[in-house]
Amino acid sequence: MVRVRFAPSPTGALHVGGIRTALYNYLFARNKGGRFLLRIEDTDVERSKKEWIDVITEGLRWLGLEWDEDIVFQSKRLGVYQEHAMKLLEEGKAYYCYCTEEEIQEHKEIARTLKKPFKYPRTCLKRSKEEIEAFEREKRPKAIRFKVPEGKTVFNDLIHGEIEFDNSEVEDFVLLKQNGFPTYQTAVVIDDHFMEITHVIRGDDHIANTPKQILLYRAFGWEPPEFAHLPMILGPDKKRLSKRHGATSVTQFREEGFLPEAIFNFLALLGWSPGDNREIISKEEMIKVFDIKNVNKRACVFDINKLLWMNSEYIKKLNDEELLEKILPFYEKTDWFKVEEHIDVLRKIVPLFKTRVKTLRELPEFSNYFFTRNYRYERKGLDKHFVDPRVFEILEEILSEIISLKDFDKESAERVVREKAKQNNVKAAFIIHPLRLVLTGKTVGPGLFDIMDVLGKDEVIFRIKRALKELRGFVPGKTAYPEGTI
């Protein structure tokens, strides 16, 4: 049975590269009818935090990446790593290293001076018996290093094909640090073996680690898993994706109003294609067609505009009640929305904005004027739509007509506006645009008559009256922003 794992370190949020790695492991396992496992690599005691574990697991669940077995925590397996490192030591496949940090730094400085990559010079493998005994008497701290054998290490990467390393290029890496904690290489090999991992799918920044791990597998007498190394994700500037490019973590995407289905869809196609031109693909369909061999070898670019488009498509697919449920938390964060007072209005405006927003967070921003009078008129709108003084005259006529209406709804509002435009021999847009600005403070949004219908007769009257008072005498391009506007 195929068994894969996602193995994050709880030292920070779950970022784009890690999310995609988890996603590809998940798709591969589900496609093969296998198991998707989660391991927390928390042996870095100083940097690992419980709160980051919660962030990681919550992020995976939010994306629908449920693991199949209990989480494995490396911090609970220190004895296992120490036992196996000692076994290699006893078999002559590893040796004690007494070098201090200062001595290692000296070797690194020499390498820099010679403009050569640093490689541990096997200092402790060459030490005399007397030196070692002296170190033991003084109880000098010691690590355990793996003794890299001669030869070549070759493996077939499921994405990149055959990769070969000359063992002479691989240094004698540390298995156990002086404090008794394992290094990454040690823990990952031992855990992958005992978790019965069949395929290791991870970022291609780990390619250099692979020969070390294969050598360890062989030293233990174990069969290595198959490897697949995913291409790097770049920002629009073709540099490695980082915080300077904007949101990069699950937490940030969630807070900015992205849907998990959109993130899942977008990241799945970031380096992989099902072989056709489809952009919107369900998780179920991806599971059916996913093939790790179709993953690109080259780095891919994170296109935030494409993600925004994709998120908007998933928002459109929600029914009104689903969208209401998802956007409510974003409204509750504002200081002007009260659920008990405004929920009915919110239900009315959901269908008006469903096709207009790209993220859930945009909805409160775009629709705040439905719930508060505390908005300002956009200056560009004032300068563009209040050039002709006839606007004020027609607004007064519309106000008078609305006041006299017994029944006020979308149809009656539209009839009044269009009739007044016709009577004044102007196009309907001549008054529709300034009236929208008066009622919302904005130059764009849902249809004007939908807005008027939701606001209701009394609120429309109030807002037109306020605008006539505040904007009278306004000269586009010259007058400072009207003091009375808020």
Question: Known catalytic residues?
Answer: 243
Q: How far is CA 32 from CA 23, 27, 132, 289, 425, in A?
A: 14, 9, 52, 11, 70
Output Rg (C-alpha) for the chain, integer angstroms. 32
- 419-442 burial, b if ≥16 CB within 10 A, otherwise e? ebbeeeeeeeebbbbbbbbbbbbb
The two three-digit tokens of residue 330, written as one number: 């974003």
Residue (of 243, 263, 227, 241) closest to 20 by Cα position: 263
CB contact at 8 A, 37 and 5: yes
CB contact at 8 A, 144 and 89: yes
- 149-162 burial, b if ≥16 CB within 10 A, otherwise e? eeeebebebbbbee
Q: Coil, helix or strand for 97?
A: strand
Helical ranges in 195-228 per DSSP H: 210-220
Task: State how far the Cα of 30 lies from the Cα of 288, in Å rounded to an integer.
Answer: 8
* Residue 50, Cβ density class (10 Å: 0-12 exposed, 13-18 middle, ≥19 buried): exposed
The DSSP code for 240 is B
- Measure the N-to-C terminal CA separation of the chain; round to a whole number of Å: 65
Q: What are phi and psi of 124, to 5 degrees?
A: -80, -20
Work out whether strand 199-203 and strand 72-73 pair parallel, antiparallel, or are unpaired: unpaired
The DSSP code for 93 is S
- 197-236 burial, b if ≥16 CB within 10 A, otherwise e? bbbbbbebebbebbbbbbbbbebbeeebbebbbbbebbbe
In whole angstroms, what separates CA 425 from the centre of its chain? 53
Task: State how far the Cα of 192 lies from the Cα of 226, in Å rounded to an integer.
Answer: 11
CB contact at 8 A, 455 and 362: no
The two three-digit tokens of residue 121, written as one number: 């010079």
Q: Coil, helix or strand for 8?
A: coil
The two three-digit tokens of residue 164, written as one number: 């070969």
Query: Which residue bears the tokens 């994700």?
Result: 233
